[in-house]
Amino acid sequence: PVVPPLPVASLPPATHDLFRRIQGRVAQVRIIERRSGTKSSIGSAFFVSEKGHALTNYHVVSDVVLHPEDYTAELDRGDSTVPVRLLSVDVASDLAVIQVEAPVADFFKLEDREPPQGTRLFAMGNPRDLGTTIVEGTYNGLVRDALYERVHFSGAINPGMSGGPTLSGEGGVVGVNVATMGNQVGFLVPVARARQLLDRTLALAAPPDAAALMASVREQLLANQQRITDRLMATELPKQVLGEYRVPGRWSPFLKCWGDTPHDPETPYTVTSYQCSSEEDIFLSSSHRTGVVSYLHQHVTSQKLGAMRFSALYSTLFSQDPDPVSATREDVTNFRCTSEFVDVKGLTVRAALCLRAYRRFPGLYDLVLRAATLNASTHGVDTSLTLGGFSAENAHKLARRYLEGLSWTK
């Protein structure tokens, strides 16, 4: 059957008409290095109240949060540049609210709900310092099984557009630009998250100082790691068969798991790997990521090496450091490790547990657990668990549950 065309009144307006009507509501955020007085990075923001409140990404203004003595922020509105105050952040959602002193006459409405899948959308921002740009794309719904809520947007969100709005054809905000994977694959923060942060900000009695903002980030990180811990501990840890062993499998839908066995006929041993990762993280700074869960199992077997050579290979494998969560010495302390032999339901395991503390956010740690089975001379499993940004209590709790997931099928 022939589908009748939609009435003209129900179609989205032409892109140029939408751009003309609302371009003044979008501005460029400039992060200014105080000593030189020049910009160190840029992003986008958009006005959401007549009192001059604007939304952007946390990662755009993170330097102002972490180093307020070194950085400040301003908005370039095209015809003028004005200073802004940073009022609040949602670090897990990658959002922030800033404010200019003077009221604004033209601002966006945040939509009450997500649009239907397949809706044509329009992302706006300042890509690569080229001025305000509008990009057409498609709403593809929330990313399934994500640890941190994101909308999949088929459109080119380029560097500098972070913090800009994505709009319906009627000009209402349905998401906030946050990231891209290239090839027309972009991601938005859902509008519900933006509305929640704006509502909390409008209810503030007074603008927070730098110390209060840092305390807020710490509280949000602690709440986030508790959410992840509760979610994992409430789920029975599934088992994955790996050679003669069972190992922790896909613990939660937010984890993506992959397996591989390289085939080299000249290598006298075989290593089969199975790894799971959240594949997502929280941006704290350009050098520091957090909010990560990942683990790697390696099943090693050989009928050619003999017991002594296999033991040497196995020890070398165990001594290799897994990739930790991205951080610098300014962000975290050195790892402190304890090592012991553990009996896991009759299976002897060598385990090393390492923690490093967050310097800016007391009570948060990265954990790396290494463990290797010791019950055979020609095969074994080496495993590692990495947690980013957890309390010591929760990190130990999750590590114990993880170790309990090891067993020998005999």
Whether 107 and 243 share a structural domain: no
In single-letter form, the type of residue at position 140 comes to N
pLDDT at residue 83 tops 90: yes
Whether 244 and 273 share a structural domain: yes
pLDDT at residue 14 tops 70: no
Whether 172 and 228 share a structural domain: no
- Identify the pLDDT of residue 11: 46
pLDDT at residue 391 tops 50: yes
pLDDT at residue 385 tops 70: yes
| Cα dihedral across residues 264, 266, 267, 270: positive or negative | positive
Q: What percent of the chain has pLDDT over 90?
A: 67
pLDDT at residue 10 tops 70: no
Kind of pairing between the strands at 95-99 and 270-277: unpaired
Whether 270 and 350 share a structural domain: yes
Q: Global pTM?
A: 0.91
Listed residues 163, 178, 208: the one ending a domain: 208
Give every CB contact of residue 55 below 8 A, 6+ residues apart in sequence: 45, 46, 48, 95, 96, 97, 163, 165, 176, 194, 197, 198
Listed residues 183, 208, 233: the one ending a domain: 208
The burial class, CB within 10 Å (0-12 / 13-18 / 19+), for 316 is exposed
| Cα dihedral across residues 298, 302, 307, 312: positive or negative | negative
pLDDT at residue 139 tops 70: yes
Determine the structural domain holding residue 123 and report its residue range.
Answer: 15-208
Give the H or E element holding residue 213.
helix 210-233
pLDDT at residue 15 tops 80: no
Q: Structural domain tally of the chain?
A: 2
Question: Using CA atoms, how far apart are residues 121 and 167, in angstroms rounded to an integer?
Answer: 6
Express each pLDDT in 244-274 by its tens digit: 899 999 999 999 999 998 877 778 888 899 9
Cβ–Cβ < 8 Å for 354, 337: yes
As given in the structure block, the two tokens for residue 198 are 């704006």
Express each pLDDT in 23-81 by its tens digit: 789 999 999 999 998 889 999 999 999 999 999 999 999 999 999 999 999 999 877 88
Whether 229 and 189 share a structural domain: no
Length of the chain: 410
Question: Using CA atoms, how far apart are residues 157 and 143, in angstroms rounded to an integer?
Answer: 16
Whether 223 and 188 share a structural domain: no
Whether 197 and 246 share a structural domain: no
Express each pLDDT in 307-324 by its tens digit: 788 788 778 777 777 777
Q: What is the mean pLDDT of residues 128-154?
A: 89
* Residue 394 or 113, more confident: 394
